[in-house]
Amino acid sequence: VLVLDASGSMRESDWPPNRLDAAKEAARSFCERLAEDQPGAGIAIIAYGTAAKTMCRMTPARELGRLTESIDRISNLGGTNIRAGLKEAERLLQYSGHNTHRSPSSIAESLRERATIDCVGIGGQPADVDETLLKKIASSNPDGTKRYRWIGDRQRLVKHFNAIAGRISRT
């Protein structure tokens, strides 16, 4: 499940034209890589702002057109409610910037029992995101480091999402 921040801060133009367009480009790259490497893999897409919105339910990666159309429809959705995005991801999996809503920690803990959470902060500089919270949400690697990265440019973001998709295709 790709959970994308579509809050107001994603309109910042420190990644021209804006952060949301960069995140959408990376999400499309992720889908393209998975479609190539593992066409039967399921991908769902959620956008969150004040509330979460399922843009595309679980869909085989080979249905790339449907996935990319869903990504392209994402627009700004208000405040930053990370918890809503994670809760919607948990619901879709059918498991019974700075966050401006209730803490997402408990839902992230539940989700980490069933899925790996990679968090990526983007923006002009690390101070533009709540790195402490994103590290708390992220899963841990076998060596104990967190699966969180701040990425400072669009090309590295696309490469990172491509690498994540490559790891999924080998598991």
Of 107 and 20, the one with more pLDDT: 20
Residue 78 is which amino acid?
G
Closest to 46 measured CA to CA, from 3, 5, 93? 3
> Can you give the pLDDT at residue 113?
86
Q: Place 169 in a pLDDT band, splitting at 50, 70 and 90.
A: low
Q: Which residue has the higher pLDDT, 46 or 114?
A: 46
Neighbours of 89 (CB within 10 A): 24
Quick one: pLDDT at residue 48? 97
Highest mean pLDDT among 38-42, 51-55, 94-98: 51-55
| pLDDT at res. 101 | 66
For residue 171, what pLDDT is reported?
Answer: 46
